[in-house]
Amino acid sequence: MSKLVTIYGGSGFVGRYIARRMAKEGWRVRVAVRNPNEAMFVKPYGAVGQVEPVFCNIRDDASVLSVMHGADAVVNCVGVLDSIGKNTFEAVQAEGAERVARIAASSGVEAMVQISAIGADPESDSEYARTKAAGEEGVLKHMPNAMILRPSIVFGQEDGFFNRFAGMSRFGPVLPVVGADTKFQPVFVDDVAAAAVMGVTGQASGVFELGGPDVYTFRELMDQMLGVIRRRRLVLNIPFWAARVMAFGFKVGRVLSLGLVRGPLTADQVKNLAVDNVVADGAQGFAALGMTPTAMEAILPDYLWRFRPSGQYDAIKESAKNLKV
């Protein structure tokens, strides 16, 4: 019988790519998510019955154990960008990650991969970064041979970064950003998935920081994106003090609306945007895994074309201009 991997958060942006790759490797894949009915799109990743979405609450021991039964390896992709209700940074990224590792160790699971993030730091001002670091510590406490992956900002067809800003660019001549000079090292989602497969299959373990071949400032990323979607916009930097004021206002709005209204920015995100998000000097990365990361320029046009003024017809219209009457 083929081996089984349980992927917590396997229907998310990174998790679905790991699930697809593991299915291609011939593994049975159990995709543990909060809403299995919304994760049915993972089933065609493999043969009939090879990939199955199942319910799991990462905050509950019994739930985590039930979907881990019989697994040879586990991957934890669960993370949050904002504390909402009971799904706080601490509950999900720190306690949840350690819970998966603790139960994996007691269940005799052979391998574990933890998806963390560049910037994970117990001393960080950001609660997101602190709990990512706490999650790593909890994982290694119980599964010392686990693989920890710390990607920079991840891009790909379903990403929430380039898609979000490309969408914003359609509604005015100005594109506001916070931390225009902050540096990023964008990494292709399928490259992260390929690295995770190496951890699942036992080919690698340890901590790896994953960044693409190039480093860009936030402003340069927006310029690249605007070039791909063929729109001219003024990239306006919002000072950090102003961003903090805005984030506080959004927080007040959320409280007054009983959580119904959520702003596009939080105070914790502002703290993260003030720190460069690049692979640290001396850190293990793709080279240590024998991989060459994919350049951002090779991928963005494949999925951002829909944000061009004429969408899929943009290239046709440009070609028509060259016709001689």
Q: Is the separation of the CB atoms in 65 and 103 below 8 Å?
A: yes
Cα gap 73→202, rounded to integer Å: 9
Q: Is the pLDDT of residue 35 over 60?
A: yes
SS3 242: helix
Domain range for 28 is 4-159+186-213+278-293
Which CATH number does the domain housing residue 152 bear?
3.40.50.720
Quick one: DSSP state of residue 92?
Answer: I
Q: Name, in order, each residue with C-beta under 8 angstroms of 27's C-beta and a sequence gap of 6 or more.
A: 2, 3, 4, 5, 200
Q: pLDDT averaged over the chain?
A: 94
Q: Is residue 282 part of a domain?
A: yes
Three-class SS of residue 6? strand
Q: Is 306 within the bounds of a domain?
A: no
Query: What does 114-177 look like in DSSP terms, one character per residue?
Result: EE--TT--TT-S-HHHHHHHHHHHHHHHH-TT-EEEEESSEESTT-SSHHHHHHHGGG-SEEEE
Structure tokens at 215: 């480093």
The structural domain count of the chain equals 1
Reference 6, options 52, 40, 60, 62; nearest CA is 52
Residue type, 179: G
Is 205 part of a structural domain of the chain?
Answer: yes
Give the C-alpha separation, 99 to 61, whole Å. Answer: 7
pLDDT digits (tens, 9 = 90+) for 84-102: 888 999 999 999 999 999 9
What count of residues does the chain have?
Answer: 325
Residue 325 has pLDDT above 60, yes or no: no
In sequence order, the 6+-apart residues with CB closer than 8 A to the CB of 229 are 166, 169, 304, 305, 307, 308
156: left (phi over 0), alpha (psi -120 to 50) or beta: left
Inform me whether the pLDDT recorded for 320 exceeds 80: no
User: Do the domain assignments include residue 172?
Assistant: no
Asked if residue 176 belongs to a domain, the reply is no
Interior CA angle at 97 toward 95 and 98, to 5°? 65
Tell me which H or E stretch contains 71: none
Q: What is the mean pLDDT of residues 39-67?
A: 97
Q: What's the rounded Cα separation, in Å, for the pair 256 and 151? A: 35
Q: Are residues 234 and 175 in contact, defined by beta-carbon separation less than 8 angstroms?
A: yes
**Domain-located, residue 283:** yes
| 252, 257, 260, 263 alpha-carbon torsion, rounded to 10° | -20
Per the CB < 8 A criterion, the answer to whether 102 and 146 are in contact is no
In which band, very low, low, confident or very high, does the pLDDT at 324 lie, cut at 50, 70 and 90? Answer: low
Percent of the chain that is helix, strand, coil (3-state, to 5):
45, 15, 35
Residue 208: the pLDDT is 98
Mean pLDDT of 221-245: 96
Residue 223 within a domain: no
Ranges 152-161, 250-259, 288-297, 298-307: which has the least confidence: 250-259
Does 26 map to a domain? Answer: yes
The strand pairing partners of 73, in sequence order, are 5, 111
pTM flag (> 0.85):
yes
Report the pLDDT value the prediction gives residue 323, as an integer from 0 to 100.
67
